[in-house]
Amino acid sequence: MSAVGAAAGAGVAVLERYEPVIGIEVHCQLKTASKMFCSCSTEYDGAPPNTHVCPVCLGLPGALPVINRRAVEHVLATGLAIEATNPATTRWDRKNYFYPDLPKGYQISQYDLPLAAHGRLAFETSTGPFTVGIRRAHLEEDTAKLVHVTTADGRTVSLVDFNRSGAPLMEIVTEPDIRTAEQARRYAEELQLLLRAIGVSDADMERGQLRVEANVSLRPRGAETFGTRVEVKNMNSFRSVERAIAFEIERQAAALDAGETLTQDTRGWDDTRGVTYVMRSKEDSQDYRYFPEPDLPPLRLDPAWLAEIRARLPELPAARRARYQAALGLSAYDATVLVNEPRAIELFEALVGAGIEPKRASNWVTGEYLRLLRRFSTADAAWLEPSRLGRELAELIRLQAADQITATNAKEVFEAHFETGQAIAAIIAARGFTKISDEAMLEGTVDQVLAANPSAVADVRAGKPQAIGFLVGQVMKATRGQANAALVGEVLRRRLGGQGG
Ligand SMILES: [Zn+2]
Rounded CA-CA distance 243/375 in Å is 28
Sequence-ordered strand ranges (E) for 34-144: 89-90, 93-96, 106-109, 116-125, 128-141
CA of 63 from ligand 1 middle (Å) equals 10
Number of domains in the chain: 3
- What is the sign of the dihedral through the CA atoms of 113, 115, 118 and 124? negative
Final residue of a domain: which of 300, 328, 359?
Answer: 300
CATH code (residue 447): 1.10.10.410
Same domain, 377 and 295: no
Same domain, 328 and 395: yes
On the 0-12 / 13-18 / 19+ scale of CB atoms within 10 A, 166 is: buried
Rounded CA-CA distance 216/201 in Å is 26
CA of 112 from ligand 1 middle (Å) equals 26
What are residue 268's DSSP bridge partners? 233, 277
Q: HSE of 120 in the Cβ direction (CA atoms, 13 Å)? A: 7
H-helix or E-strand spanning residue 215 = strand 210-220
At 21 the three-state DSSP class reads: strand
Residue 306 belongs to some domain of the structure: no
Q: What is the mean pLDDT of residues 364-382?
A: 88
Check residue 8 and give its pLDDT.
47
Same domain, 460 and 423: no
Percent of the chain with pLDDT over 90: 78
Q: Which of 136, 92, 62 is nearest to 291 (CA)?
A: 92
Confidence of residue 476 (pLDDT cuts 50, 70, 90): confident
Q: How many helices (H) and strands (E) does the chain have?
A: 17, 15
Q: Which of 334, 2, 320, 364 is nearest to 190 (CA)?
A: 320
Contacts with 271 (C-beta within 8 Å, 6 or more apart), sequence order: 236, 237, 240, 243
Same domain, 381 and 448: no
Same domain, 335 and 296: no
CA of 288 from ligand 1 middle (Å) equals 24
Residue 305 belongs to some domain of the structure: no
Q: Which of 385, 389, 339, 330 is nearest to 362 (CA)?
A: 330
CA of 65 from ligand 1 middle (Å) equals 9
pLDDT tens profile 222-252? 999 999 999 999 999 999 999 999 999 999 9
CA of 50 from ligand 1 middle (Å) equals 10
Rounded CA-CA distance 466/376 in Å is 41
Q: Which of 373, 379, 419, 417 is nearest to 399 (CA)?
A: 417
CA of 161 from ligand 1 middle (Å) equals 13
Rounded CA-CA distance 136/86 in Å is 10
Final residue of a domain: which of 431, 457, 490?
Answer: 431
Rounded CA-CA distance 468/493 in Å is 8
CA of 48 from ligand 1 middle (Å) equals 15
Q: Which of 427, 471, 424, 425 is nearest to 452 (CA)?
A: 471
Check residue 340 and give its pLDDT.
92
CA of 115 from ligand 1 middle (Å) equals 23
pLDDT tens profile 125-180? 999 999 999 999 999 999 999 999 999 999 999 999 999 999 999 999 999 999 99
pLDDT tens profile 386-421? 999 999 999 999 999 888 888 989 999 999 999 999
Check residue 3 and give its pLDDT.
44
CA of 147 from ligand 1 middle (Å) equals 20
Residues in the chain: 501
**pLDDT at residue 442 is higher than 90:** no
DSSP 199: T
Residue 402 belongs to some domain of the structure: yes
Same domain, 398 and 456: no
Check residue 11 and give its pLDDT.
63
DSSP 283: S
Residue 183 belongs to some domain of the structure: yes
Per DSSP bridges, beta strands 156-161 and 145-150 are: antiparallel
pLDDT tens profile 286-334? 789 999 999 999 999 999 999 999 999 999 999 999 999 999 999 999 9
Phi, psi of 56 (to 5 degrees): -70, -50
Same domain, 103 and 220: yes
Same domain, 273 and 331: no
Confidence of residue 493 (pLDDT cuts 50, 70, 90): confident
Same domain, 243 and 391: no
CA of 78 from ligand 1 middle (Å) equals 25
Residue 307 belongs to some domain of the structure: no
pTM metric for this prediction:
0.81
Residue 210 belongs to some domain of the structure: yes
Residue 309 belongs to some domain of the structure: no
CA of 156 from ligand 1 middle (Å) equals 29
Check residue 433 and give its pLDDT.
79
CA of 200 from ligand 1 middle (Å) equals 21
Encode 353-391 in three state secondary structure. Answer: HCCCCHHHHHHHHHHHHHHHHHHCHHHHCHHHCHHHHHH
pLDDT tens profile 39-56? 999 999 999 999 999 999
Same domain, 272 and 320: no
471 and 450 Cβ atoms separated by less than 8 Å = yes
Same domain, 92 and 133: yes
Note down the domain range covering 413: 315-431
Check residue 2 and give its pLDDT.
41
Confidence of residue 212 (pLDDT cuts 50, 70, 90): very high
CA of 463 from ligand 1 middle (Å) equals 86
CA of 67 from ligand 1 middle (Å) equals 12
CA of 209 from ligand 1 middle (Å) equals 19
Same domain, 320 and 221: no
Q: HSE of 304 in the Cβ direction (CA atoms, 13 Å)? A: 0
Final residue of a domain: which of 431, 462, 490?
Answer: 431
CA of 162 from ligand 1 middle (Å) equals 9
Confidence of residue 285 (pLDDT cuts 50, 70, 90): low
